[in-house]
């Protein structure tokens, strides 16, 4: 369970109603199968030892006696498996019968968690046989030893510390005040639901939504094991509609009649990080903890990780997300233009991706305001590294969008500045590059003053993370519309616009998409771009991956490296991933001073680096801890 990853399973074995010996043999077989798969948490359905549909046979002592024998067999079979097992068990106690989840670990019965919400409506008659859970926990003596009895129970793991498991049973999920709410607030990061939910038209979709939403509300994983083949079909049909969810996402799913055993890798570290971040997740008291698992185990991951975590994987969802992001960016700019009474929106148009996106957003904002697109002043400012391709694309783009085009050649101004400060034009140093970026910003600011407008910033989230911006140059604007959009997403947004634009705009947008990303601050070679950003700082898709998991969840470098190897295994070798991970950490820490004085900009995603909202960090913080771990990663 290294790095907080835990393999969980929901199993729906074939069973025979009122045949505990058969049922336990099926369950033990699945326990061994799960152990061979590296499962650490295994959840069986409600009353899986007896069968859910026994009816008045629950009044029969022979059935209950054999259920106790069968549970003993299951407990013994768990010895040495290092797996927490939840089995559905009808438990007799002080003259009452309880529908319980038996929590089993390494040859021990740890706890019996009784169902609280006992349905007696429609096709359900449980109140006829079962008693609701008592309010308070108690330690009781059973044939299996001293056991914690009660629903206020959490089973914590010593490794990983973020793994804490609790159980509720079927109807408990469907009620307004589910026990899992308080269990999660008490510290449980994984909820097991032992269920016997019958199938009716429309119920599968509702059940899936319910599990997904509950895991999202609780910032937890939710393992839902549903009864399947073998339950009585006298009045109901059961199909084993099991699933495993994590914070709103369904990780594994057994659709009706599709199977009986599913597994998924749960990231408890991610859940713990989310809860630490959310100060509205208030802890609850009054719950008892039992601890298991003394040693850290390796989890062989079968979970995949998206290469581009900021970008939806399905094309339909991606298009909807792109449309929504563009709308949010435009709405933010619209409000700022109105509030500042700006007569013009001034955009420095380079012919690159970021300034293209800024122009697209500005056009949308002006359409929202029913203002002419000529109120956008698109300024192209050629200098030493500008190529005919990018300059031409900037001019064509301004024309396609109806913006007012201005061309200000800054070569002479920059040369004069070099003479003023004693900089040789042959010295292609940082000063040579940054002088151009700062001159461009000065031109834009002064045009905005002259025209009564505001300067629209073009820099994106990836550049801010890496500090790939000139301080008080392209780093500065009056409203940065791309500030929370990473480079990988910028590309998709421009591509989305190209797919919906007219032919003239689409052609230039597609050529911009095909142009290497470059600040064009060094002289061109044979008319071609000589300075390719990703050759210098590394692939943006890797940096965006690092950014998402380090900043969003606080993951350590070792874990991020492990995930990146899975996501990019066919694209980059281990040495390359580690190299750019070290680069990311080094640059991220060193460049915080640029992020401490960012202009305003709209938050459109879950990660931003604004010092006023999502990211507060001292500019002189040490990167030593992170670099030590990253540089020490074994790439063998």
Over residues 122-176, the pLDDT tens digits come to 888 899 999 999 999 999 999 999 999 999 999 999 988 899 999 999 999 999 9
262 exposed, middle or buried (CB, 10 Å; 0-12, 13-18, 19+)? buried
Q: How far apart (Å, rounded) are the C-alpha atoms in residues 37 and 26?
A: 17
115 is catalytic: yes
383 is catalytic: no
234, 84 Cβ separation under 8 angstroms? no
602, 483 Cβ separation under 8 angstroms? yes
Note the pLDDT of residue 299.
85
Note the pLDDT of residue 2.
84
SS3 of residue 444 by DSSP: helix
Q: Residue range 482-501: average pLDDT?
A: 96
Kind and range of the H or E run holding 378: strand 376-380
Note the pLDDT of residue 315.
82
597 is catalytic: no
Note the pLDDT of residue 285.
87
Fold of 2-292: Nitrilase/N-carbamoyl-D-aminoacid amidohydrolase (3.60.110)
User: Residue 128, Cβ neighbours under 10 Å: how many?
Assistant: 12
Exactly one of 115, 396, 559, 594 is catalytic; which is it?
A: 115
SS3 of residue 478 by DSSP: coil
344, 448 Cβ separation under 8 angstroms? yes
Name the β-bridge partners of 480: 457
Q: How far apart (Å, rounded) are the C-alpha atoms in residues 543 and 463?
A: 10
Token code pair at residue 93: 């106690």
Q: Residue range 357-361: average pLDDT?
A: 98
Note the pLDDT of residue 258.
57
Exactly one of 170, 231, 246, 487 is catalytic; which is it?
A: 170
- pLDDT tens figures, 517-528: 888 778 877 777
Contacts 24+ apart (CB under 8 A), 175-181: 175/117, 178/214, 179/116, 179/151, 180/214, 180/218, 180/220, 180/222, 181/217, 181/218
Mean pLDDT, all residues of the chain:
94
Q: What residue ranges in 66-107 does DSSP mark as E strands?
A: 84-93, 96-105
Query: What architecture (CATH level 2) is domain 315-631?
Result: 3-Layer(aba) Sandwich (3.40)
Residue 113 pLDDT grade (very low, low, confident, very high; cuts 50, 70, 90)? very high
Token code pair at residue 613: 């909202």
Q: Residue range 443-455: average pLDDT?
A: 98
Task: Give the total residue count for the chain.
Answer: 636
SS3 of residue 266 by DSSP: strand
- Output DSSP code: residue 331: H
- pLDDT tens figures, 224-283: 999 988 898 888 888 889 999 999 999 999 976 656 899 999 999 999 999 998 888 888
pLDDT higher than threshold 70 for residue 323: yes
Short-list 562, 61, 32, 581, CA closest to 300: 562
Residue 153's alpha-carbon distances to 7, 156, 226, 344, 502, in angstroms, are 21, 10, 22, 62, 61
Token code pair at residue 446: 């002064």
Q: Residue range 34-63: average pLDDT?
A: 96
The residue ranges of every structural domain in the chain are 2-292, 315-631
Token code pair at residue 618: 């001292």
548, 607 Cβ separation under 8 angstroms? yes
- pLDDT tens figures, 38-50: 999 999 999 999 9
Residue 480's alpha-carbon distances to 311, 347, 461, 466, in angstroms, are 21, 11, 10, 17
Short-list 574, 636, 556, CA closest to 273: 556
SS3 of residue 104 by DSSP: strand
pLDDT higher than threshold 60 for residue 327: yes
Q: What are phi and psi of 328, to 5 degrees?
A: -65, -45
Q: How far apart (Å, rounded) are the C-alpha atoms in residues 54 and 232?
A: 8
Task: Mark 552-588 as b/e (b = at least 16 C-beta within 10 Å).
Answer: bbebbbbbbbbbbbebbeeebebebbbbbbbbbbbbb
571, 558 Cβ separation under 8 angstroms? no
Note the pLDDT of residue 360.
98
Q: Which residue has the tokens 């975590």?
A: 309
Q: What is the DSSP string of 363-375?
A: HHHHHHTT--GGG
Residues 6+ apart with CB under 8 A from 155: 84, 103, 105, 110, 111, 164, 165, 166, 289, 290, 291, 292
Residues 6+ apart with CB under 8 A from 148: 110, 111, 112, 137, 138, 139, 288, 290
Q: Residue range 496-515: average pLDDT?
A: 94
Does the model's pTM come out above 0.85?
yes
Q: How far apart (Å, rounded) are the C-alpha atoms in residues 203 and 223?
A: 18
- pLDDT tens figures, 574-604: 999 999 999 999 999 999 999 999 999 999 9
Q: Residue range 541-545: average pLDDT?
A: 98
Task: Quote helix, strand, coil % in the chain, to nearest 5.
Answer: 40, 20, 40
270 exposed, middle or buried (CB, 10 Å; 0-12, 13-18, 19+)? buried
């Amino acid at each position: 369970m290294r790095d907080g990853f835990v393999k969980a399973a929901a199993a729906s074995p074939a069973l025979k109603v009122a045949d505990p010996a058969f049922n336990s043999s099926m369950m033990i077989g699945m326990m061994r199968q799960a152990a061979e798969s590296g499962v650490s948490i295994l959840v069986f359905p409600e009353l899986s030892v007896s069968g859910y549909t026994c009816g008045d046979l629950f009044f029969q002592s022979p059935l209950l006696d054999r259920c106790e024998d069968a549970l003993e067999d299951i407990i013994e079979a768990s010895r040495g498996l290092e797996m927490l097992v939840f089995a559905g068990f009808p438990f007799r106690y002080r003259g009452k019968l309880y529908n319980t989840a038996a929590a089993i670990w390494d040859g021990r019965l740890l706890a019996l968690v009784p169902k609280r919400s006992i349905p007696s409506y429609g096709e359900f008659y449980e109140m006829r046989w079962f008693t609701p859970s008592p309010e308070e926990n108690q330690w009781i003596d059973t044939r299996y030893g001293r056991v914690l009895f009660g629903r206020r129970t959490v089973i914590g793991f010593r490794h990983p510390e973020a793994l804490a498991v609790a159980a509720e049973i079927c109807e408990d999920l469907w009620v307004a005040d589910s026990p899992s709410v308080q269990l999660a607030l008490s510290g449980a990061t994984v909820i097991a639901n032992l269920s016997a939910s019958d199938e009716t038209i429309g119920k599968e979709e509702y059940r899936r939504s319910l599990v997904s939403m509950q895991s999202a509300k609780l910032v937890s994983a939710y393992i839902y094991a549903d009864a399947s083949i073998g339950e009585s079909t006298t009045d109901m049909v059961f199909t084993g509609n099991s699933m495993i969810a994590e914070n709103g996402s369904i990780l594994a799913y057994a659709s009706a009649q599709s199977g009986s055993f599913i597994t998924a890798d749960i990231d408890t570290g991610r859940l713990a990080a989310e809860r630490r971040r959310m100060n509205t997740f208030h802890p609850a008291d009054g719950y008892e903890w039992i601890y298991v698992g003394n040693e850290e185990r390796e989890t062989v991951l079968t979970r995949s990780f998206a290469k581009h975590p900021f970008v939806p994987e399905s094309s339909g969802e991606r298009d909807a997300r792109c449309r929504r992001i563009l709308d949010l960016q435009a709405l933010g700019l619209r409000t700022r233009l109105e509030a500042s009474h700006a007569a013009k929106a001034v955009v420095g148009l380079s012919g690159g991706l970021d300034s293209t996106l800024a122009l697209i957003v500005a056009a949308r904002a002006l359409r929202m305001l029913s203002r002419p697109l000529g109120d956008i002043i698109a300024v192209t400012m050629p200098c030493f590294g500008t190529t005919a391709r990018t300059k031409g694309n900037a001019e064509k783009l301004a024309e396609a969008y109806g913006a007012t085009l201005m061309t200000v050649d800054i070569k002479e101004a920059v040369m004069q500045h070099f003479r003023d400060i004693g900089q040789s034009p042959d010295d292609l140093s940082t000063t040579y590059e940054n002088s151009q970026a700062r001159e461009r910003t000065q031109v834009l600011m002064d045009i905005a003053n002259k025209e009564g407008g505001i300067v629209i910033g073009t820099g994106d989230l990836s550049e801010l993370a890496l500090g790939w911006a000139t301080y008080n140059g392209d780093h500065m604007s009056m409203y940065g519309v791309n500030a929370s959009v990473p480079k990988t997403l910028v590309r998709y947004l421009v591509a989305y616009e190209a797919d919906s634009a007219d032919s003239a705009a689409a052609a230039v947008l597609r050529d911009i998409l095909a142009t290497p990303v470059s600040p064009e601050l060094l002289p061109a070679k044979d008319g071609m771009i000589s300075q390719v950003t990703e050759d210098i700082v590394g692939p943006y898709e890797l940096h965006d991956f690092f950014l998402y998991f380090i900043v969003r969840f606080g993951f350590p470098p070792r874990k991020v490296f492990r995930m990146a190897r899975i996501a990019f295994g066919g694209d980059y070798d281990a040495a390359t991933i580690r190299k750019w991970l070290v680069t990311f950490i080094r640059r991220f820490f060193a460049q915080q001073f640029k992020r401490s004085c960012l202009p305003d900009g709209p938050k459109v995603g879950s990660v931003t680096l604004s010092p006023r909202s999502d990211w507060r960090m001292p500019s002189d913080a040490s990167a030593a801890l992170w670099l030590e771990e990253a540089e020490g990663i074994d790439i063998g």
